[in-house]
Structure 1
Amino acid sequence: MAIREFSPEGVHRLKVAFFNELPEESIESRFKERGFVCIKCTESELTDPSFVSFLDAVVFSQRPEKRTGLNKVLETVPLLLNNDVRVYIRMASDPERTSGARDKVVDTLLRLQLPMANITPEEWSRIPDQRREREKAFLAPYVYLVDASADWSKITHVICDRPAGGTPNTAIKINGSDYLANGDLAIHRERLLLIQRAFHDCDELHVEPMIDGLSGAPVFKVYAKLQHAQGALPSNWPYLYFVKLGPRKTIADEYDKYVGRAIHHVPFHLGPRLRLGRCNLGTSQGILVGDFVEGAESIRDCASAGRAGHAIANLFDKTLGPWRKQAHHTKRSLKEYLGKKWLTKDGQEIALPPKRAEIVRQLGGIPDVAPLRKVFEQIGDHAGAICGPAHGDLHAANVLVRNGDAIIIDFEKMEDEFPMLYDPASLESGLVMDGFVRDKRAKNAPEELLELIRPLYTGNALIALTVPYHAANPASWLFDCAAQIRTLSRHAESTAGQYALVLALCLIRKGCNPDPFEPINENLRAISFVLGQSILLDLASMLTVQARTVCRNETCSERIA
């Protein structure tokens, strides 16, 4: 059992509210033994933030004679969940033993887009993909469905064993709160409540925005001044955290993967340290809070300055080592694992934005994805892949370097079973994309930059591992990094050329990112596409030559025979 301090303060919140039906006295006494007070509530009270914020839980009871009677009052649930109030719904018994009563409640919860727990596989499958969390996950707060067969004693244990967190600190002073603003007022209010819950034990916060990634979840530096608490060291010096706000599923998935996979495998000093007690979820939004990694720089900056050698070795040997040691051969091909990477979230084939397509033409490329996808599927279907746990989004901004150590962040896209080549290919393509953002050639002479690095991205170069370059080449840092990454990744190939294939996919995906960018980034994404295209066309040509050679050899053998 985890260490817990026994304190006269008891539970954070004391009141459990009941709508429609109070439990009998013997059950109330069980709540009292656990430090809770049972009260009856009305619908209007459940819309009052001052009333809701001090509740631990609300129990709604469905009446057999009026199965749709909860439909309207359940519209108060978002406010409850945003305040971390636990919500339970007791289903009415059905003499005909059908699921009709339960179905009406589930239909309402799905319509209101509320997170649910203790649901059946069929009910879970009805949740849209963009809101569907891990099956059988119990990441509170949620609406917990209590079957009609469950008695009050069981409900009592469930409620008392899952208490709410601290009451939102609405009095906390937030300097820089304008940075938290969101165009959607409802989302802004929910995120503000998440901040007040996460830092309920603080007097003051100072918020500074950080450069956002592409996930749609803004990240902030937050200096928090803690309240003086019993047993704690009094101090006016604020502690520095990172805070990530975003859609509930995005935050829940990343939290889930961090707790279930990263915390037990990534060495403590080589990954983010989440403050699990400060991470929270609401109805539609969520918040992650962790220790800010001070004194670090992105591997992009480290690499372009020629200082990434030790960090890259550390990344694959130490940081990702526990995952990479789980590598194993599978019968599934790269096509089976990575085929969906050629599609958008809507199931459409990825494509170059029109403006970027024109840049690709100017660079000598062909802005057509379909034939490239066909080449990938043909070559990628020939052999099984070596797989294991993978980060899934190891671009150059998700690897930080401090004193030679490589620290990985952002576990949102982590995969339990994925080609081991994907992470190194993502890193190399990320260095191509991000490593030249300060190079004037990327903005003013993209053709010149392309020619500087093109020798690295041919089929022969990728299979040969190293490519000679002139010491005066301003892109020499990329040649060094690429050679090191490819050497460290060779063991993850089941057949020669697989790394080249995955790298081509990563480069093409970066080129097809639909978001608009500054001109310099538009040029770099076009360059990435051209390089990925070049690799695939070279691989296709090499396979054609090999096939002809085999055919000639067979013909000669037949003649000799």
Structure 2
Amino acid sequence: MDWLSKAVSLKMSIVDVTAFGRSEVGWIGADPPAEAKAPFQDRGLTIRQQQITAFQPMEPALLASLAAVVIVQQQDYPSRFQRIVRSCLKHLLDYECRVFVVPFGVAGLPQVYRCLEEARVFASNLPSDVLRNQFTWQRSLGDPMPLPPLPHVTILSPIANWSEAANFLVRHLPGEAVQESVSFSFAPECEFGENDAGVGQVLLKRAFRGYTAVHFSPMTEGRSGAAVYRAYPVFGAFHTMPRFVKLGDRSKIFQEFQNYQLNVEKYVPFNLGPRLNYDLCCLGSTRGVLVGDLIESCESLRLAARSGRAGPAISCLFDRTLQAWYRNIERRDTPLSQTLGPRFPKQFDRRRMQRARSIGSRCDRDRLFTLFEYCASSPVLFAKIHGDLHVDNVQVRGHEALVIDFYANQDGPLVWDIATLEASLLVDAFDNHELWSFDEWWRSIEQPYGGKPLDMLLGHGDPRDPHRWFHEAVRQIRHYAARVASADQYGAALALALLNKAAKDPNLKGPEDERRAAAYVLAERILNNNFAPQ
């Protein structure tokens, strides 16, 4: 309800101020001055008469009653402000309290900025140089956010305008208090990371306030840094529709939220992608939660491909699911190597490179980057792209392809989505638990990488080959690549996608680690075949 600063104005009357039971404004660091009381009281809020003690845990009942807290910096006790920020600021923001900071004067502002920077919280009323140089995490879609989404810290001027502060609070009231009575249960496989052990459960209680109970089970493995769960909420005595819940870094969650609003709802057919439940999404001080409708009765493209059923789904993916993005193409003269160059891996794991050399690699990272830069083909077709189109982000239901996880959604070369999907099929789609012989696997899959990918005539695969499904899927993917890219462009994009796979997850062991080493070798072949001087 308080996500986008542009759309955060709540149409509430003064009567609504007390509807959620959060009508108190508390002070930390000093008693409320006399001139501050009337502006808040005139708007239906209550001034808490006693200072809040910041150096001991706050009771849930206190947090449930607070609409806002004013933290006062005192000139005579500079270390006290730092202790207050460290002890309770994030806790207040996680419970959705509105937080105002009042510096003692202009001389106190550097400490305010420094303490908030140390806490890595979001703040408004920051000078542009402080926003640019210190609060580097305070960005959205790559741009600094002078007014970040709530909850954030509002820095008031030393001579505070309390009427403005009270108006801001009434316009941006927090939601209902966290309901400690909601009961959570977790499947044994659910593991909260260090960042989510306490904060995560507070945010989940905020998301599911009003529900009686919620059961969580983990979804497919992911390496994005965000935990994704299936949630089964109970409202009163009734089971409601299952949801997906994504818990992760606040900036990433907010960026994905924006992508859903700006690029998914208007472009991806409603039945071919998830829809967010906006009233359940929320942000905390450093973490955030997305909640949306759970896509059920699906399997990943990984599983569909292995059983030879990827064909209709791949057709649906590029002809229907993402078609609205791809209709809005723009031709740009910037070479593909310049556009995708920032994605080129900076380094590769030494152990994995030793394995790549044993397979046949002869070039180091710098040599491959030089070859990659030779891709000067233009124009390049740009549009909205998914940005991370791997086999687990494409879900298959019958003949339909549904797409999930829109954090990386952006403007980019169309060929990148297609190349990343082929690279993911090679590295991610094979079964890590089947009887594994690297030599047999290598003989089976290397044929499509013997020349320039789009210049090769790929057949339907040998029916005796257990990996025939891979050849069928690659042949179809390259059919779509030929529509949007030249042979050099697809060669460069596919090589880069394979190199990114080779650089990722260096601690893996077993078959997937072998495939990532092989991806390096195949990328090297592609770059040599496309760009090495003859």
Fold similarity call, TM over 0.5 = yes
1:450 matched to 2:442? The reply is: yes
In 1, are the aligned partners of 2:37 and 2:47 still within 8 Å (CA)? Answer: no
Spell out, residue by residue over 1:234-278, the C-alpha distance to the aligned partner (whole angstroms, 9 max, x if none): x52243111122222232222232223222222222222121221
Q: Does 1:485 align with 2:487?
A: no
Query: CA RMSD, aligned part only?
Result: 2.8
Q: After the TM superposition, which residues 339-358 of structure 1 pair with which residues of structure 2 at under 5 Å, given as runs?
A: 339-343=341-345, 349-354=346-351, 356-358=352-354
**Partner in structure 1 of residue 111 of structure 2:** 104
Q: Kindly provide the amino acid, as one letter, of the partner of residue 360 in structure 1.
A: A
Gaps of 5+ in 1: 95-99, 228-234, 344-348, 546-561
The aligned length equals 516
1:45-64, CA deviations, whole angstroms, 9 ceiling, x for partnerless residues? Answer: 67413212321211234567
In structure 2, do the counterparts of structure 1 residues 68 and 384 end up closer, same or farther at CA, with 3 Å as the change threshold?
farther
In the alignment, what sits opposite 1:195? 204
Distance (Å, rounded) in 1 between the aligned partners of 2:213 and 2:392: 30
Equivalences for residues 493-504 of structure 1 within 5 A:
493=485, 495-504=486-495
1:54 has 2:65 as partner: yes
Quick one: distance in 2 between partners of 1:352 and 1:451?
A: 25
Work out whether residues 132 and 249 of structure 1, in 8 Å CA contact, stay in contact via their aligned partners in 2: yes
On the 8 A contact 2:301/2:391 being kept in 1, the answer is yes
Q: Is the 8 A contact 1:219 1:244 kept in 2?
A: yes
Counterpart in 1 of 2:3? none
* Residues 269 and 183 of structure 1, relative CA distance in 2, 3 Å threshold: closer
Q: Structure 2 unaligned runs (5+)? A: 1-6
1:147–1:169 Cα change, 3 Å:
same
- TM-score, normalised via structure 2 length: 0.88
2:97 alignment partner AA: V
Letter of the 1:420 partner, please give it.
Answer: L
Match of 1:255, SS state, is helix
What residue is the counterpart of 1:391 in the other structure? Answer: 386
Residues 146, 405 of structure 1: alpha-carbon distance in 2 compared, 3 angstrom cutoff: farther
Match of 1:167 among 155, 174, 177: 177
For residue 140 of structure 1, the aligned residue among 141, 147, 150 is: 150
Q: Secondary structure of the equivalent of 2:531?
A: helix
Q: Assess, with a 3 A threshold, how the Cα gap between structure 1 residues 109 and 177 changes in structure 2: closer, same or farther.
A: farther
Rounded to whole Å, the distance in 1 between the matches of 2:444 and 2:299 is 26
Note if contact 1:49-1:79 (Cα within 8 Å) is conserved in structure 2: no
Residues 419/80 of structure 1: CA separation in 2 closer, same or farther (3 Å cut): same
- Which residue in 1 is equivalent to 2:400? 405
Q: Deviations over 1:8-54 (max 9, x none)?
A: 7734522222343344454134321xxx3222452416741321232
Q: Tell me the residue number matched to 1:219.
A: 228
Deviations 1:110-154 (A, max 9, x none): 122222234233222234655644522522211122345762222
Shift of residue 505, structure 1, vs aligned partner: 0.8
| 8 Å CA contact retained: 1:446, 1:527 | no
| d(CA) in 2 for partners of 1:293, 1:315 | 16
| Paired residue secondary structure (2:332) | strand
Distance 1:30 1:457, change over 3 A: farther
Alignment-derived partner of residue 318 in structure 2? 316
Residue 126 of structure 2: SS of its match in structure 1? coil
Task: Quote the residue 1:121 is aligned against.
Answer: 128
CA contact (8 A) 1:357 1:367 kept: no
Aligned CA distance change for structure 1 residues 30 and 438 (closer, same or farther; 3 Å): same
Greater Cα offset, 68-77 or 198-207: 68-77
Please give the alpha-carbon distance, in whole angstroms, between the structure 2 residues aligned to 1:41 and 1:487.
Answer: 71
Structure 1 residues 165 and 318 mapped into 2: Cα distance closer, same or farther (>3 Å)? same
Q: Is the 8 A contact 1:270 1:406 kept in 2?
A: yes
Find the residue that maps to 1:471 and give its secondary structure: coil
- Conservation of the 8 A alpha-carbon contact between 1:12 and 1:164: no
The residue aligned with 1:88 is 100
Residues 112 and 45 of structure 1, relative CA distance in 2, 3 Å threshold = closer
Q: Secondary structure at the match of 1:276?
A: coil
Whole-angstrom CA distance in 2 between matches of 1:207 and 1:331: 48
Query: Cα gap change, 1:54/1:367 in structure 2, threshold over 3 Å: closer, same or farther?
Result: farther
Give the direction of change, closer, same or farther, for the CA distance of 1:439–1:225 in structure 2 (3 Å limit).
closer
**Equivalent residue letter for 2:46:** V
2:239 aligned counterpart, secondary structure: coil
Question: Does the CA contact (< 8 Å) of 1:31 and 1:38 recur in 2?
Answer: no
Work out the percentage of aligned pairs sharing the same amino acid.
26
Q: Decide whether aligned partners of structure 1 residues 150 and 334 sit closer, same or farther in structure 2, where only a CA change above 3 A counts.
A: farther
Query: Is 1:17 paired with 2:26?
Result: yes
Task: Tell me the distance in 2 between the aligned counterparts of 1:149 and 1:465.
Answer: 74
Q: Residues 521 and 311 of structure 1: is their aligned pair in 2 closer, same or farther, counting only changes over 3 Å?
A: same
- After TM superposition, give the deviation of residue 461 of structure 1 in Å: 4.1
Within 2, Cα distance between the matches of 1:41 and 1:427?
60
Q: 1:367 to 1:279 in 2, by over 3 A?
A: farther
Q: 1:177-256 to 2 correspondence within 5 Å?
A: 181-182=191-192, 184=194, 187-227=196-236, 235-256=237-258
Residue 85 of structure 2 corresponds to residue 74 of structure 1: yes
Q: CA deviation at 1:435?
A: 2.1
Relative to structure 1, the CA distance from residue 359 to residue 28 in structure 2 (aligned partners, 3 Å threshold; closer, same or farther) is closer
Question: How far has the Cα of 1:177 moved from its partner?
Answer: 7.1
The alpha carbon displacement at 1:286 in A equals 1.8
**In the alignment, which residue of structure 2 is the partner of 1:419?**
413
SS at match of 1:332: coil
Alignment of 1:426-445 (within 5 A): 426-437=420-431, 440=434, 444-445=436-437
Q: Distance in 1 between matches of 2:475 and 2:10?
A: 48
Q: Which moved more, 1:470-479 or 1:528-537?
A: 470-479
Residue 361 of structure 1 corresponds to 357
Q: What SS class does the counterpart of residue 279 from structure 2 fall into?
A: helix
Partner of 1:153: 163
Aligned residue among 290, 293, 296 for 1:291: 293
Contact 2:93 2:284 in 1 (8 A): yes
Counterpart for residue 549 of structure 1: none
- State how far apart, in whole Å, the 1-side matches of 2:124 and 2:347 are: 35
> 1:275 and 2:277 equivalent?
yes
Q: Distance in 2 between matches of 1:155 and 1:502?
A: 51
Change in Cα spacing, 1:363 to 1:217, as seen in structure 2 (3 Å) is: same
Q: Tell me the amino acid that sits aligned with residue 492 of structure 2.
A: L
Structure scoring higher RCO (CA < 8 A, sep ≥ 6) equals: 2
Greater mean alpha carbon deviation, residues 398-407 or residues 243-252: 243-252
Map of 1:536 onto structure 2: 527
TM-score by structure 1 length? 0.84
Specify the SS of the correspondent of 2:320: helix
Tell me which residue corresponds to 2:468.
476
Q: Which shifted more, 282-291 or 503-512?
A: 282-291
Letter in 2 for 1:351: F
Q: Write the distance in 1 (CA, Å) between the matches of 2:526 and 2:266.
A: 37
Paired with 2:180 and 2:228, the residues of 1 have a C-alpha distance of 22
In the alignment, the residues of structure 2 paired with residue 59 and residue 179 of structure 1 have an alpha-carbon distance, to the nearest angstrom, of 41
Shift of 1:428: 0.9
Deviation at 1:391, TM superposition (A): 1.2
* Cα offset, 1:526, TM superposition: 2.0
Change (3 A) 1:5 1:153: closer
Of 478, 489, 509, the residue aligned with 2:500 is: 509
CA distance in 2, matches of 1:109, 1:5: 31
In structure 2, the residue matched to 1:548 is none
Whole-angstrom CA distance in 1 between matches of 2:112 and 2:187: 38
CA distance 1:240–1:499, shift in 2 (3 Å): same
SS in 1 for 2:242: strand
The partner residue of 1:264 within 263, 266, 269 is 266
Cα distance in 2, alignment partners of residues 455 and 368 from structure 1? 23
2:496 and 2:240 map into 1 onto residues whose CA distance is 45
